[in-house]
């Protein structure tokens, strides 16, 4: 029973980490290539697929992951530049 719970926690952490890396890649691509570039659109599609999977499994994003914090920082930096 405990082993099964640990496997489930590991699976959730892996999905959260994958989603955070996909979100970071999307944000970096938006800055580097622009929001309308084909590669950015592909990154967005990958990230949205992961978000849909997470939603179906009732898993929330882990904003404490390093990748999530980096993505948030990119958003904040971009916001400061535009203002």
Give 11-55 pLDDT, tens digit per residue.
999 999 999 999 999 999 999 999 999 999 999 999 999 999 999
Query: Distances from the Cα of 13 to the Cαs of 28, 44, 59, 64, in angstroms?
Result: 22, 21, 10, 12
H, E, C per residue of 12-59: HHHHHHHHHHHHHHHHHHHHHHCCCCHHHHHHHHHHHHHHHHHHHCCC
pLDDT at 80 over 80: no
Q: What count of Cα atoms within 13 Å lies in the side-chain half-sphere of residue 72?
A: 10
Q: What confidence category does residue 4 fall into, taking pLDDT thresholds of 50, 70 and 90?
A: confident
Six token digits for residue 23: 């979100």
Q: Judge if pTM exceeds 0.75.
A: yes
């Amino acid at each position: 029973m405990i082993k099964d719970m640990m496997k489930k926690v590991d699976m959730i952490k892996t999905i959260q980490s994958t989603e955070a890396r996909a979100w970071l890649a999307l944000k970096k691509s938006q800055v580097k290539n622009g929001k309308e570039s084909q590669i950015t659109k592909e990154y967005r599609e990958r990230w949205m697929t992961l978000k849909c999977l997470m939603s179906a499994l009732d898993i929330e994003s882990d904003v404490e992951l390093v990748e999530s914090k980096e993505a948030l920082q990119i958003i904040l930096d971009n916001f400061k530049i535009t203002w």
